[in-house]
A = this chain, B = another copy of it.
Amino acid sequence: MANEFAARTSVEQVEEGAELAPKFDADGLIPAVTTAAQTGELLMVGYMNAEALRKTIETGEAHYWSRSRQVLWHKGATSGLVQKVVELMIDDDQDCVWLKVDVSGNGASCHVGYRTCFYRRVPLGAGSSKKLEFTESEKVFDPKVVYGDAPNPTKL
């Protein structure tokens, strides 16, 4: 696919310019950090290829590239939990984007059924047990009901 964004020609252009010149990695992907627009809570980190980024910009709804399923992924197409993009930001060297979104429905973003993918805390300190502490006690949906027998995207 031809690169539909600006070519990267100088550090100054990339860092201080107004041209959208995203850097896709060797797999053609750029990481996308998605937070809840209202609360600032981190919901998920996904990846976009050029098509996913373009569709996100043009439709105002989050599109990702599913690395586990190897398909363009319109978030919410299965679960109904579409992410409406309130603001889309790009970082200094344009190798990462930040989506601030409103989530429809019950506000869940995690395939396990929690509100956010980040529901466990790692204890800190020199003597840390490294035993994870759950910060969400109840799931907001039942993944079996929502996804049926679709394969779990988690890879070992």
Contact = CB atoms under 8 A, between A and B. Distances in A.
Interface of A: 5, 8-11, 14-20, 23, 31, 33, 35, 39-42, 44-45, 57-60, 85, 87-93, 96-98, 110-112, 114, 117-126, 128, 130-135, 152-156
A57 B117 contact: no
Q: Main SS of the interface on chain A?
A: loop
Contacts of A121: 87-89
- Copies of the protein in its oligomer: 2
A48 to B, nearest CB: 12
Contacts of A16: 112
Contacts of A23: 155-156
B11 A126 contact: no
Contacts of A11: 152, 154, 156
A124 B100 CA distance: 12
A154 to B, nearest CB: 4
Given A18-B132, A42-B35, A132-B17, A89 B154 contact: no
